[in-house]
Amino acid sequence: MITRREMLGGAAAVAAGLLTGLTPQDKKLAPTESNIEGPYYRKDAPFRNKLAAGLKGDPLKISGRVLSPDGTPLREALVDVWQADKEGAYDNSSDAFVLRGRIKTDKEGLYTVETVMPGQYDLGEAKRPAHIHYKISAPGHSPLTTQLYFKGDPWLSKDPFVRKSLIIEIADKAGTFDIVLARA
């Protein structure tokens, strides 16, 4: 996860580089941690960033940038997301690809997803904490499969797959999830 400060620092470094004509990036961002794919990925989700049209649930907006380790924003990176509905159920068969979508980043490397908060899902005794699955790819970089989690979820500390770096904070129904892809 990139802090706001690092992101702004990166932007400032880029701006400074543009002004001087020098190669700006001397920093090295750690690639985002991978996480299990899980059993419910479906290929060929529609290209869209509004995933929850007509669905009940708490509105949620996630945005962020896809970056190279040197801080360069990756335009037209492919961000493929999927998640459970508020009851913790996935759409594994319908043509509507409910709560699934693919997004291309813009020229600043930005993506935005408008959705609803996913539910936790039952594993018998325990539940998996709420999460959104991601697959991200961009030319010249290693594809990444990961998940994001939400701060404050009571199941975070009991789930063996959670990584601290993948937990984001939600405020005013919105959160930021920046993704750094390793160079291929």
Contact positions vs Fe ion (CB under 5 A):
38
Which lies closer to Fe ion via its Cβ, residue 65 or residue 133? Answer: 133
What's the closest the beta carbon of residue 146 comes to Fe ion, in angstroms?
12
Conformation bin of residue 134: beta by default, left when phi > 0, alpha when psi is -120 to 50 = beta
Conformation bin of residue 2: beta by default, left when phi > 0, alpha when psi is -120 to 50 = beta
Which lies closer to Fe ion via its Cβ, residue 31 or residue 38? Answer: 38
What's the closest the beta carbon of residue 71 comes to Fe ion, in angstroms?
30
Which lies closer to Fe ion via its Cβ, residue 75 or residue 127? Answer: 127
What's the closest the beta carbon of residue 37 comes to Fe ion, in angstroms?
9
Dihedral angle over CA of 74, 151, 153, 133, nearest 10: 0
What's the closest the beta carbon of residue 66 comes to Fe ion, in angstroms?
21
